[in-house]
Structure 1
Amino acid sequence: MTDRLLMRHLAVAVLLKVLVLALLWWLFVRDGRVTVDGPAAAQHLAAPAPAAPTTSGAR
């Protein structure tokens, strides 16, 4: 297989993958909307981290 033919096959494969991803996004993701409440998000991000679970040394 020549380099030119290989390059063409790879370009076609990448183009097809991009088209499939765009189609899947168009069908399933495009209309999805997430509403974000600013104060609630800020409160969630500013909340202290939960305490790490402690393990006993006995087995």
Structure 2
Amino acid sequence: MRYTTEDGGRLNNFAVEPKVYKAEPPSKDQQRNYLFMGIGAIALLSSLIFVAMSASNVG
């Protein structure tokens, strides 16, 4: 661990900084997977809303 000594002899403890890296854009396969997951999420959400409206007799 890193310690620094301040005036008066007090020790100060600092957290270890994580390694910094540059993010890379998603590949074509990842973009396709994100599209399918988005379509699946929209389908799930719309079906849940449909079931909720059917169960509550709204609509």
Question: What is the TM-score normalised by the length of structure 1?
Answer: 0.48
Q: Which has the larger radius of gyration?
A: 2
Question: What is the TM-score normalised by the length of structure 2?
Answer: 0.48
Larger RCO, structures 1/2 (Cα 8 Å, 6+ apart): 2
Question: Which of the two has greater strand per residue?
Answer: 2
Question: Which of the two has greater helix per residue?
Answer: 1
